[in-house]
């Protein structure tokens, strides 16, 4: 029997954040009660559009409202850590867009507070609910890829013209989209695969006027990290400025029996390479095969299944992958609500979100130190 209980949600930050409003409004276990952004005119425009009565320009006022159970944070990156900390202290469940935070201290504090308050914390990582990831995970769990031999993630985006906190941001500070699938695919219920150490190199150089903002000179950062308790190594590549590449958010799984590659150019389907063997004889030209991936809408309550399809007023990245980052948004909302209701653990939970984010933070530290190995703090 599905639970009739409802979580009363406030969304903070209404750029990307506004894409989640209709999903909560159509979820049987959510009440979309309030929205928050600092600009009153823009706040009212958004709240009017979606028919939301409670409007806040001040984040602290959201936290002081006893009729709000959960906040979904979609504010600029530097605010994620401090806002998640304040929200947990105020006794709210927290969903927060990526990355979890930009400092090791804030990350440790969030993990500690989640544990002491018992509230749900979930980093809303889109890639691990994107249809391409769900497809690869299914293939692996069913044994069709065989043993995983290597994993590779990549996230390339041209951030010229984006708001003030972006110019010069160290590429690896926003690495969760390429790190997370590499770790999530090896995770099982209650047994997350975690990165233990990372080595990263910086390559190239961005414009001088961008370097000063964060003291980070690299056009590209490429990292390899070891996954604890396995013999698997993963490699991730990030670019943000002064690199020519269409948007790419992808990962490849290299398996002993078959490999999955999501090295997409917009509109291309992913590819499966199947090993030539006595069981599956293949001529060289028959090894790669493009595949259509399903949308996994059947995993969701009826009312929000439509959101795995095309989002019509998307202003951000969804044009690249369709349906809000591979159709991930309704899956994220559903998983978060079920976790807040105590029906299942958050995924990623606070320690896992910490590990995924810390790979990037430690990777940038490694690149700045010329490629030394950096141990990833464990919780
Ligand atoms: N695939 C993904 O997971 C994905 C995609 C896009 C954006 N994001 C993340 O979402 C976040 C927002 O991205 P965006 O492009 O909408 O950014 P944006 O700068 O356009 O919007 C940020 C919003 O937050 C509001 N805001 C800022 N400070 C606030 C405060 N103190 N209190 C309340 N509201 C505040 C702003 O008014 C604005 O509405 C970023 O952190 C970004 O990393 C994630």
Which pLDDT value is given to residue 309? 81
Q: DSSP 3-state assignment of 29?
A: coil
Q: How far is the CA of 73 from the centre of ligand 1 (A)?
A: 8
Q: How far is the CA of 98 from the centre of ligand 1 (A)?
A: 10
Instruction: Encode burial over 336-366: b for 16+ CB neighbours within 10 A, e otherwise.
Output: bbbbbbeeebbbbbbbbbbbbbbbbbbbbbb
Q: What angle (nearest 5°) sits at the alpha carbon of residue 140, between those of residues 135 and 144?
A: 100
Name the closest-CA residue to atom 21, ligand 1. Answer: 15
Which distant-in-sequence residues (6+ apart) come within 8 Å of 247 by Cβ? Answer: 156, 157, 158, 266, 317, 320
Name the closest-CA residue to atom 3, ligand 1. Answer: 126
Which pLDDT value is given to residue 310? 53
Which pLDDT value is given to residue 302? 95
Which of 18, 37, 45, 75 best tests ligand 1's pocket when mutated (most atoms within 8 Å of CB)? 75
Q: How far is the CA of 353 from the centre of ligand 1 (A)?
A: 18
Which pLDDT value is given to residue 130? 95
Which pLDDT value is given to residue 314? 41
Q: DSSP 3-state assignment of 247?
A: coil
Q: How far is the CA of 14 from the centre of ligand 1 (A)?
A: 7
Q: From first to last of its 379 residues, what are the pLDDT tens digits of the chain?
A: 567 799 999 999 999 999 999 999 999 999 999 999 999 999 999 999 999 999 999 999 999 999 999 999 999 999 999 999 999 999 999 999 999 999 999 999 999 999 999 999 999 999 999 999 999 999 999 999 999 999 999 999 999 999 889 999 999 999 999 999 999 999 998 899 999 999 999 999 999 999 999 999 999 999 999 999 999 999 999 999 999 999 999 999 999 999 999 988 888 999 999 999 999 899 999 999 999 999 899 999 999 999 998 544 444 433 333 456 899 999 999 999 999 999 999 999 999 999 999 999 999 999 999 999 999 999 9
Asked whether the whole model's pTM tops 0.75, one would answer yes
Q: How far is the CA of 316 from the centre of ligand 1 (A)?
A: 11
Which pLDDT value is given to residue 355? 98
Name the closest-CA residue to atom 24, ligand 1. Answer: 13
Name the closest-CA residue to atom 31, ligand 1. Answer: 59
Which pLDDT value is given to residue 319? 37
Which residues approach ligand 1 with their CB closer than 6 A? 12-16, 36-39, 59, 74-77, 79, 97-98, 126, 163, 316-317, 325
Which pLDDT value is given to residue 24? 98
Which pLDDT value is given to residue 266? 84
Interhelix angle 323-340/131-141, nearest 10 degrees: 70
Which of 76, 156, 315, 336 best tests ligand 1's pocket when mutated (most atoms within 8 Å of CB)? 76
Please give the full DSSP string across 286-322, using - where no structure is assigned. Answer: GSEEE-PPP--GGGS-GGGGGGGS--TT--SSHHHHS
Burial classification of residue 131, based on how many CB atoms lie within 10 Å of its CB (0-12 exposed, 13-18 middle, 19 or more buried): buried
Q: How far is the CA of 33 from the centre of ligand 1 (A)?
A: 19
Atom number, ligand 1, closest to the C-alpha of residue 58: 32
Q: How far is the CA of 90 from the centre of ligand 1 (A)?
A: 21
Q: How far is the CA of 35 from the centre of ligand 1 (A)?
A: 13
Atom number, ligand 1, closest to the C-alpha of residue 76: 41
Q: DSSP 3-state assignment of 328?
A: helix
Give the pair of three-digit tokens for residue 353: 């979100």
Q: How far is the CA of 166 from the centre of ligand 1 (A)?
A: 11
């Amino acid at each position: 029997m599905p639970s009739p209980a409802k979580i009363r949600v406030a969304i903070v930050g209404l750029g990307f954040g506004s894409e989640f409003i209709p999903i909560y409004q159509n979820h049987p276990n959510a009440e979309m009660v309030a929205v928050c952004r600092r600009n009153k005119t823009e706040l009212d425009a958004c709240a009017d559009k979606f028919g939301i009565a409670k409007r806040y320009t001040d984040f602290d006022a959201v936290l002081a409202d006893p009729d709000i159970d959960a906040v979904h944070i979609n504010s600029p990156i530097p605010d994620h850590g401090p806002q998640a900390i304040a929200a947990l202290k105020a006794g709210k469940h927290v969903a927060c867009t990526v990355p979890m935070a930009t400092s090791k201290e804030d990350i440790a504090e969030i993990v500690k507070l989640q544990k002491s308050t018992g509230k749900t914390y979930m980093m809303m990582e889109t890639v691990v609910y994107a249809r391409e990831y769900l497809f690869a995970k299914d293939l692996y769990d069913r044994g069709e890829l065989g043993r995983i031999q290597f994993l590779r993630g990549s996230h390339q985006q041209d951030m010229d013209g984006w708001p003030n906190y972006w110019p010069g941001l160290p590429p690896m500070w926003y690495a969760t989209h390429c790190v997370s699938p590499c770790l999530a695919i090896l995770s099982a219920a209650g047994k997350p695969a975690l990165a233990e150490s990372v080595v990263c190199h910086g390559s190239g150089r961005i414009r001088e006027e961008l370097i000063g903002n964060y003291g980070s000179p690299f056009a590209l950062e490429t990292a390899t990290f070891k996954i604890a308790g396995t013999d698997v190594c993963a490699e991730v590549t990030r670019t943000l400025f002064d690199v020519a590449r269409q948007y790419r958010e992808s990962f490849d799984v290299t398996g002993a029996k078959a490999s999955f590659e999501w090295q997409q150019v917009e509109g291309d389907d992913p590819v499966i390479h199947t090993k030539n063997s006595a069981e599956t004889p293949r001529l060289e030209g028959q090894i790669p095969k493009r595949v259509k991936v399903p949308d996994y809408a059947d995993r969701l309550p009826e009312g929000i299944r439509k959101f795995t399809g095309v989002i019509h007023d998307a202003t951000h990245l969804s044009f690249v992958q369709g349906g809000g980052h591979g159709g991930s948004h309704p899956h994220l909302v559903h998983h978060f609500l079920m976790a807040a209701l105590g029906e299942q653990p958050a995924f990623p939970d606070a320690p896992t979100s910490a590990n995924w984010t810390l790979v990037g933070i430690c990777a940038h530290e490694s690149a700045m130190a010329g490629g030394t190995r950096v141990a990833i703090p464990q919780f």
